[in-house]
Amino acid sequence: MLRRLFALCCLLSTALPLPALGDEALEGIEHLNRLRVAAGLNPLQRDPELTAAARNHAEYLQTHRMIGHGERPGDAGFTGNNAVERALYANYASRAVSENVSAVMGDRRKGMRMAVEDLFTAIYHRTIFLAFDIDRVGAAFVSDGNGNSKAAFSMGNGRLNALCREPAQPIGFAAYYRDVCRDRERRVPAAAFEAAATTQKLANPLWVQWPYPGQAEVQPMFADEIPDPLPEVELSGNPVSLHFNPERVQRVELHSFELFDAAGNALREVRLLRQENDPNRLLGGLDFALFPLKPLDWGASYRARASVTVDGERQILEWRFTTRQPPEGLPLYKVARNGEQLTLHTGHNRFLVFIDPATAGRVLSVSARALDVAAIEANIVESNTLLLDLRGVGPAAHATVTLSGGFNFELSVEGTR
């Protein structure tokens, strides 16, 4: 599976009937809500205007074979230069809009769920999905029928949107906000705006841990995000993160943040990302992400532990999660060196092979040449993870597998059927 992820969060009528959603879009919203609720946050309610905005942008990206948050004026399907303009075009009233989009290649039956989970591996997208102040969402999934799909999510705050729909009232000399509604010059009373903006945040917890405590089937890898939080690392582990509620927490001191394997050994090759060292300056002062610099193991248990002082009170946050099993539950082998000889001792003809990104880089393509095998099919099913399917195996079956950049390995198979 290959995918590209992009995130945008911006501060940026009469109600429409809810547009019809495909099964994929509904599954995307339901899965996103399952994850938010499991993390302790409020679920998001489907919004008709945000749904239309997401649909318009997903269709634009698919039509023009693009990915990202921009659109070009004059193009067919153009509805706005950014997420805010596209929401306003769809008759949304507030300028407080955030957006996540993803390009997914693969089975559309799993597409929207896969898009949500991939976006959660990407730290900047994760912070948008875990925002404390949102309560409305629109989603769309558009496919060309050949395994190339675009997913889009638009999110907002229903109270702010309702406030911007109310008729404007004289406010005299009271404090006010501008540039928060469709009419940029409209003056919104500060008290009303702040009440609408903070109500949802106050209803949410002091902090959120991710993966959430007890979460199973966690993706073990982080592969791709634009902008890239780890530009010099080809493929890393899925980051563990802490996010504190800015309406309920004023100051956080992070003393330590560690990740342990099932044997109790601390992972040493990690990088802690926070506002001060974030290369893209997108993390807030209350967001902390611990990146394992190598992919986590499939089907493994991990324990996260953070020591923090929250508004003067010392806290120890400790929780566990488990990564997902290898795709299809197949036997998994690893290749760490160019030219490595790999012997597969198994009674099956389908295998998974993980290619170490430290030596091979990102695997973008794969080809296989069979000897004493009638046929061998090789496909990339996850980042740097190959599915090999052998047919017609002889008594001394072996094959050569070549990857992007010329990296290759030899394999022989014993006991294959």
374 pLDDT band, cuts 50/70/90, is: low
Contact 207, 243 (CB under 8 A): yes
Q: Is 300 buried (19+), middle (13-18) or exposed (0-12) by CB count in 10 A?
A: middle
Higher pLDDT, 78 or 355: 78
pLDDT beyond 60 at 416: no
Average confidence (pLDDT) over 167-196: 93
Average confidence (pLDDT) over 7-15: 37
pLDDT beyond 60 at 183: yes
pLDDT beyond 90 at 210: yes
Q: Which of 103-107, 183-187, 259-263 has the lowest mean pLDDT?
A: 103-107
Element (H, E) at 56: helix 48-63
Across the chain, mean pLDDT equals 89
| Percent of the chain's residues with pLDDT above 70 | 89
229 pLDDT band, cuts 50/70/90, is: very high
Q: Which of 103-107, 158-162, 171-175 has the lowest mean pLDDT?
A: 103-107
Higher pLDDT, 267 or 22: 267
Contact 208, 39 (CB under 8 A): yes
Residue length of the chain: 417
Higher pLDDT, 378 or 51: 51
Alpha helices in 248-294 (DSSP H): none
Higher pLDDT, 10 or 341: 341
- Specify the DSSP class assigned to residue 179: S
Which pLDDT value is given to residue 189?
94
Q: Which of 264, 289, 292, 269 is nearest to 279 (CA)?
A: 289
Average confidence (pLDDT) over 290-303: 96
Q: Tens of pLDDT along 31-46?
A: 999 999 999 999 999 9
Which pLDDT value is given to residue 393?
55
